């Protein structure tokens, strides 16, 4: 499909430029039609002759990035499948990779220290969620003109639920930045990333990689046989705290190494890092730490923009009708759609139920385990769900899948209550009816269920929404929030902080205009 002179991929990406392409995968600069922003699009063509490890890596990257939400980590916007392709869309972060900056060699000590702290902050967030990157190197670290850093390429990353032991005959990562235990195929922990990061930082401050040999064999030999004392002698960054940090990060034994990124930040004199909520909650996730704010006796000017939706009525979904929010269709025009309902409760209980997958399969299979004489009367249809950015899929309160879904869900014909759950969006409910030998396709953009806030602050401020740091003004775009009461804090070190609460309904957009008052 094309729009004017531009190609449209997967019915929602307007291609601006092809950055890279090979037999199976492609990388594009594109405009996300639904989100209205410039993005990076990665796609993978699924075919029988495609190496399974390539597909697994691609899907792993999408699912792991969906867990991460931190200013120092490249953000995934959405991912899914379309016909015979799998795709991921990322935020477009304009800048260079760290390799280019190392080669330019024009950063001063303070600038390098700032990058060091940002890298450790991003790692701290990932490690707190049980995610190990496994391939940290300069090419996977990106920096813009403001010297803001983001860590990317989580294609080799593993989560706490995966097996963290590397096969003896398989090297996963880039050898010259690997830890000794990674090369030996031992169990990997967050300490592995810290060693790799230490190697990257050594190169950033000293201009060369201490373990890089003439070939892969010499590199591996150096990593397995290096002297900690001799390596420590080479460390002379010009900053005592940083030298201490690098020496701890490059310890050969994980048990003697820097234990976590937060410890590294403390060595550099940085206070305990802010905790960012993840996109998908985990059992071990720490509670968000409230940021300290000071009440201000100042009047804020709040300009209320017209609401895109006048009231809180459920989004109507009619037969043969599509909206910006939801498109539900079937290969049979006779599909019956029941009223949709959006659960807009704004509380911390928005956690997915813990359901044993085997129980789900058993419960669904009960639909067909009937008397043999009645089997002929059992009829089946199929369901396919695509959701932006992603969601857990519930049928009649039972978790059956998490998008992106690789294949259609085969279920007994009949009426179901479908619920889509994402921890940072309102719950989406819709009644559907599955017909015999037909595929019911459901496409939902959860972003359209949100409210939005624009910020106009003079001179500038850190914006904190519901105790979560969003960024510094000017933000460049409006901030999407879950409808309901939204707590806002504006902070500027030169002024008294400002606190307020706005109440927004679904689809509503408001602008907060504020000028700090001289003390």
pLDDT tens digits along 203-239? 999 999 999 988 888 899 999 998 888 888 889 877 8
Q: Same structural domain for residues 85 and 102? A: no
Whole-angstrom distance, CA of residue 490 vs CA of residue 463: 5
pLDDT at 291 over 60: no
What mean pLDDT comes out for the span 250-279? 80
Of 91, 120, 138, the position where a domain reaches its end is 91
CB-count burial class (<10 Å; 0-12, 13-18, 19+) for 135? buried
Find, among 164, 145, 148, the residue nearest to 156 by Cα: 164
Domain C-terminal end among 48, 68, 91: 91
Residue length of the chain: 519
Per-residue pLDDT at 165: 37
pLDDT for the residue 157: 56
Q: What confidence score (pLDDT) does residue 272 get? A: 58
More confident site: 358 or 11: 11
- 109 and 43, same structural domain? no
How many other C-beta atoms lie within 10 A of the C-beta of residue 495? 18
From 83-97, 263-277, 346-360, the region with the lowest mean pLDDT: 346-360
Residue 289 included in any domain:
no
Q: What is the mean pLDDT of the chain?
A: 77
Structure tokens at 352: 């997915």
Domain span at 474: 301-308+449-515
Residue 115 has pLDDT above 90, yes or no: yes
CB of 490 closer than 8 Å to CB of 514: yes
Tokens 């009440």 belong to which residue?
Answer: 295
Residues 110 and 77 placed together within one structural domain of the fold? no
The answer on 155 and 247 residing in a single domain is yes
Structure token pair of residue 296? 């201000």
Is pLDDT at 334 greater than 60 in this prediction? no
Examine the domain organization and report whether 463 and 485 are in the same domain.
yes
- Hey, which residues does 165 pair with through a beta bridge? 187
Among 447, 475, 501, give the residue marking a domain's end: 447
Does 366 map to a domain? yes
The single residue listed with the structure tokens 């002698």 is 233
130 and 243 part of one domain: yes
pLDDT at 257 over 80: yes
For residue 239, the model assigns a pLDDT of 86
Q: Which of 45-49, 283-287, 296-300, 423-427 has the highest mean pLDDT?
A: 423-427
Indicate if the pLDDT at residue 93 is higher than 50: yes
d(CA 380, CA 370): 14
Quick one: 207 exposed, middle or buried, by C-beta within 10 A (0-12, 13-18, 19+)? exposed
> How do strand 301-304 and strand 509-515 relate by DSSP bridges?
antiparallel
Confidence (pLDDT) at 343: 45
Here the CATH number for the domain that contains residue 132 is 1.10.510.10
Q: Kind and range of the H or E element at 401? A: strand 398-402
97-102 long-range CB contacts below 8 Å, 24 or more apart?
Answer: 97/138, 97/139, 97/140, 97/141, 97/142, 97/143, 98/138, 98/139, 98/141, 98/142, 98/143, 98/149, 98/200, 98/204, 99/138, 99/139, 101/143, 101/204, 102/138, 102/203, 102/204, 102/207
Q: 288 falls in which pLDDT band (50, 70, 90)? A: very low
- 494 with 356, same domain: the answer is no
CA-to-CA dists, residue 448 to 1, 46, 308, 388, angstroms: 24, 30, 10, 10
The answer to whether residue 225 sits within a structural domain is yes
CB atoms within 10 A of CB 279: 19
Per the structure, how many domains does the chain have? 4
Q: Do the strands 468-472 and 498-504 form a parallel or antiparallel pair, or are they unpaired?
A: unpaired
Residues 126 and 246 in one domain: yes
- Residue 190: inside a domain, yes or no? yes
CATH number for the domain that contains residue 460 = 2.60.40
70 and 105 in a single domain? The answer is no
Residue 282, domain member (yes or no):
no
User: What does the pLDDT look like over 342-359, one tens digit per residue?
Assistant: 443 333 333 333 334 444
Residues 127 and 82 grouped into a single domain: no
Is residue 378 located within the same domain as residue 242? no
In a domain, 284, yes or no: no
293 in a structural domain: no
Q: In this structure, is residue 470 part of a structural domain? A: yes
Write down the pLDDT at residue 215.
Answer: 87
Same domain, 200 and 251: yes
Residue 156 pLDDT grade (very low, low, confident, very high; cuts 50, 70, 90): low
| Max avg pLDDT among 145-159, 238-252, 296-310 | 238-252
pLDDT for residue 333: 34
Evaluate if residue 282 carries a pLDDT over 70. Answer: no
pTM: 0.54
**Maximum mean pLDDT: which of 89-93, 100-104, 303-307:** 100-104
- Mean pLDDT for 107-111 is 94
More confident: 311 or 462: 462
Q: Show which residues are catalytic.
A: 135
Tell me, what CATH number does 10's domain have? 3.30.200.20
Q: Which helix (H) or strand (E) holds 60?
A: helix 52-65
């Amino acid at each position: 499909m094309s729009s004017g002179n531009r190609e449209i991929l997967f019915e929602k990406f307007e291609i601006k430029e092809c950055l890279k392409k090979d037999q199976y995968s492609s990388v594009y600069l594109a405009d996300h039609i639904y989100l209205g922003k410039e993005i990076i699009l990665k796609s993978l063509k699924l075919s029988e002759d495609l190496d399974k490890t390539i597909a697994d890596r691609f899907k792993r990257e999408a699912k792991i990035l969906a867990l991460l939400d931190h200013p120092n980590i490249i953000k995934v916007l959405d991912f899914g499948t379309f016909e015979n392709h799998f795709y991921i869309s990322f935020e477009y972060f304009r800048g260079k990779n760290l390799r280019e900056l190392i080669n330019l060699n024009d950063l001063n000590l303070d600038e390098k220290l700032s990058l060091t702290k940002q890298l450790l902050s991003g790692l701290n967030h990932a490690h707190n969620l049980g995610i190990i990157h496994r391939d940290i190197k300069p090419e996977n670290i990106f920096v813009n003109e403001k010297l803001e850093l983001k860590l990317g390429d989580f294609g080799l990353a593993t989560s706490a639920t995966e097996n963290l032991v590397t096969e003896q005959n398989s090297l996963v990562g880039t050898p010259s930045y690997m830890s000794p235990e990674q090369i030996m195929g031992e169990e990997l922990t967050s300490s592995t990333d810290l060693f790799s990061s230490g190697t990257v930082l050594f190169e950033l401050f000293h201009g060369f990689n201490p373990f890089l040999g003439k070939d892969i064999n010499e590199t591996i030999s150096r990593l397995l046989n290096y002297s900690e004392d001799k390596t420590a002698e080479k460390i002379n960054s010009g900053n005592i705290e940083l030298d201490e940090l690098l020496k701890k990060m490059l310890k050969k034994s994980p048990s003697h190494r820097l234990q976590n990124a937060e410890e590294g930040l403390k060595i550099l004199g940085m206070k305990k890092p802010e905790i960012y909520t993840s996109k998908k909650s985990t059992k071990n996730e720490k509670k968000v730490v409230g940021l300290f704010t000071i009440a201000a006796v100042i009047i804020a000017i709040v300009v209320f923009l017209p609401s895109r939706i006048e009231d809180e009525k459920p989004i109507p979904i009619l037969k043969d009708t599509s909206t910006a929010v939801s498109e539900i269709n079937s290969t049979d025009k006779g599909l019956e759609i029941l009223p949709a309902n959006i659960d807009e409760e704004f509380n911390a209980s928005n956690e997915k139920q813990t359901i044993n997958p085997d129980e789900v399969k058993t419960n669904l299979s009960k639909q067909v385990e009937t008397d043999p004489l009645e089997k002929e009367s059992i009829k089946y249809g199929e369901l396919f769900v695509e959701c932006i950015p992603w969601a857990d899929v519930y049928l009649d309160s039972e978790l059956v899948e998490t998008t992106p879904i690789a294949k259609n869900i085969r279920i007994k014909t009949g009426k179901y209550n479908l619920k889509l759950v994402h921890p940072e969006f309102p719950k989406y409910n819709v009644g559907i009816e599955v017909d015999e030998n037909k595929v019911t396709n459901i496409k939902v953009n959860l972003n359209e269920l949100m409210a939005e806030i624009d910020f106009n602050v003079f001179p500038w401020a850190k914006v904190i929404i519901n105790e979560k740091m969003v960024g510094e003004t000017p933000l460049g775009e409006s901030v999407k929030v879950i409808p309901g009461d939204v707590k806002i804090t504006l902070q500027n070190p030169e002024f008294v902080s400002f606190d307020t609460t706005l109440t927004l309904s679904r689809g509503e957009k408001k602008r907060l205009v504020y000028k700090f008052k001289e003390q």
